[in-house]
Amino acid sequence: MSNVPVITSMQVIPVAGYDSMLMTLSGCHAPCFTRNLVILKDSAGHTGIGEIHGGDYTHDGLMAMRPLVEGMPVSKSREVLQRIHRAVNPHSDDADEGIQTLDIAKLKYVVRSEWAIECAMLDLLGQYLEVPMCQLLGEGQQRDEVEVLGYLFYVSDRHKTPAGAMQYMDESDSPDPWFRLRREEILTPERIVEEAEAVAEKYGMRNFKLKGGVLRGEEEMEAVRAVKKRFPDARVNIDPNGAWSLKEAIELCRDMHGIITYMEDPCGPEAGFSGREIMREFKNATQFQVATNMIATDWRQFYHTVSLNACDIILADPHFWGFDGAVRMSQLLDTWGLTFGIHSNNHFDITLAAFAQVGAAAVGRVAPLDTHWIWQDGQNLLEDTPQIIGGKLQVPKKPGLGVTLNMARVEEANRLYNSLPTHDRDDAVAMQYLIPGWKYDHKKPCFVR
């Protein structure tokens, strides 16, 4: 009889955390963001965990997968995922179109809930075999710390929303300068430089990405120039999420060589051409390297992206591609002389640990990984949150995911989730307090109306 442990229970716990009034093409982040946690227990007494996109759609999808997981040996994650893929039909609203225009209502279809199960099962398998998760992926562990970038955002003044309806976190009395700064208005190049200085000071980051698609392109480029001037050795990039037309993007980038290292999704679909075709034209015109988390979010889109040679850096979020899939992506990119990176959305520290494991296993050239964690730091759901030291995320050394849940914190985050009027992300709500009647337009930065 096999002594491989068997999964005895699968719990799905929806959780929420606090956020700043972060600005993007989609509008403003709400005061709270949501996630779903998967907690597996096995017959050896181990706990495996995974974190994924928030909201009821993802939660209900995960609950429906429970019967396919419980009772399975921890060694059979591939079989479990296969069974899920055979059994689960796409939602009728899911046209499999990806997020070429960053329609965040579609994000829940690009993220696949089952990857949280993959994470939790790899966590259990690693504990059974007594190896860290990264040793179970691809060609095994490549590094023991992974560079992450300082993810800079414009932040609006939270006092412009009604306190009762939209209560953003106030950290004005925190002893930590970064914690104080991240909850206050940041809308000018000078303030963006202060933001970069604060994250450089706290986390040792020396590479930055500015989330664009907020102000006019010229103003955003001024902020990029200011950051580069302050940190001449830094790699700086900007991601307007495809808000600029091809013409605008080419003009805006004309004088930016030597200042910007690579461009992330500068432009998207237009005039009947797909984002992949337009990105190829942008590359031809500017000779900039280009990164994406918008035009290649699955293998079919990736095929067309590669066929057109439209992208140099694929930001393969394991929540889109799976853990095995993300590392497989790094292997392909390495073979073809391209670069791997990871995209993020607001997340807790379980995802941070997952990024550390995937980043540790990725082969070849790895761009500094995205993480929103610096905006959530302090809201730990783990006893042993991986640290970012000198701009590098430390890969946990313990077996599996290598981290331990703090259940009291998880319960608190679940209570916050249950107190929210809605669980889906809608960045138009807060934005409408800044510009009455505001509506999302994927070709207009959110303040350009």
Query: Position of tokens 């830094």?
Result: 234
Stretch that binds ligand GKR, among 66-74, 298-306, 324-332, 342-350 (CB under 6 A): 342-350
Active site residue 59: no
Question: Out of Mg ion, ligand GKR, none, which partner does residue 118 contact, by CB within 5 to 8 A per kind?
Answer: none
Q: List the x/- string, 409-438, binding to ligand GKR by CB under 6 A.
A: ------------------------------
Q: What is d(CA 18, CA 32) in angstroms, rounded to the nearest whole number?
A: 4
The residue of the chain with the least Cβ separation from ligand GKR equals: 24
317 in contact with Mg ion (CB under 5 A): no
- Of 297-305, 329-337, 343-351, 407-415, the window that binds ligand GKR (rule: CB under 6 A) is 343-351
Q: Which of 211, 228, 283, 392 is catalytic?
A: 211
Spot the catalytic one: 209, 343, 392, 442. Answer: 343
Could you say whether residue 239 binds Mg ion (CB under 5 A)?
yes
| Closest distance of CB 45 from ligand GKR, Å | 37
Q: Does 351 bind ligand GKR (CB under 6 A)?
A: no
Q: Which of 5, 12, 14, 24 binds ligand GKR (CB under 6 A)?
A: 24
| 80 or 296: CB nearest ligand GKR | 296
Is residue 293 near ligand GKR by the rule CB under 6 A?
Answer: yes
Q: Which is nearer to Mg ion, 118 or 264 (CB)?
A: 264
Could you give the string, one character per residue 359-398, with x where binding to ligand GKR holds by CB under 6 A and - elsewhere? -----------x-x--------------------------
- Out of ligand GKR, Mg ion, none, which partner does residue 41 contact, by CB within 5 to 8 A per kind? none
- When the beta carbons of 123 and 370 are compared against ligand GKR, the nearer one is 370
For the question of residue 304 being annotated catalytic, the response is no
343 binds ligand GKR (CB under 6 A): yes
User: Is 241 near ligand GKR (CB under 6 A)?
Assistant: yes
Among 35, 158, 182, 211, binds ligand GKR (CB under 6 A): 211
Number of residues in contact with ligand GKR under rule CB under 6 A = 11
Give the chain as a 3 state SS string.
CCCCCEEEEEEEEEEEEECCCEEECCEECCCEEEEEEEEEEECCCCEEEEEEECCHHHHHHHHHHHHHHCCCECCCHHHHHHHHHHHCCCCCCCCCCCCCCCCHHHHHHHCCCHHHHHHHHHHHHHHHHCCEHHHHCCCCCCCCEEEECEEECCECCHHHCCCCCCCCCCCCCCCCHHHHHCCCCECCHHHHHHHHHHHHHHHCCCCEEEECCCCCHHHHHHHHHHHHHHCCCCCEEEECCCEECHHHHHHHHCCCECCECCEECCECCECCECHHHHHHHHHHHHCCCEEECCCCCCHHHHHHHHHCCCCCEEECCHHHHCHHHHHHHHHHHHHCCCEEECCCCCCCHHHHHHHHHHHHHCCCCECCECCCHHHHCCCCCECCCCCEECCEEECCCCCECCCCECHHHHHHHHHHHHHCCCCCCCCHHHHHHHCCCCCCCCCCCCCCC
Sites of contact with ligand GKR (CB under 6 A): 24, 26, 211, 239, 241, 293, 343-345, 370, 372
Question: Could you list the active site residues?
Answer: 211, 343
Sites of contact with Mg ion (CB under 5 A): 239, 264, 293
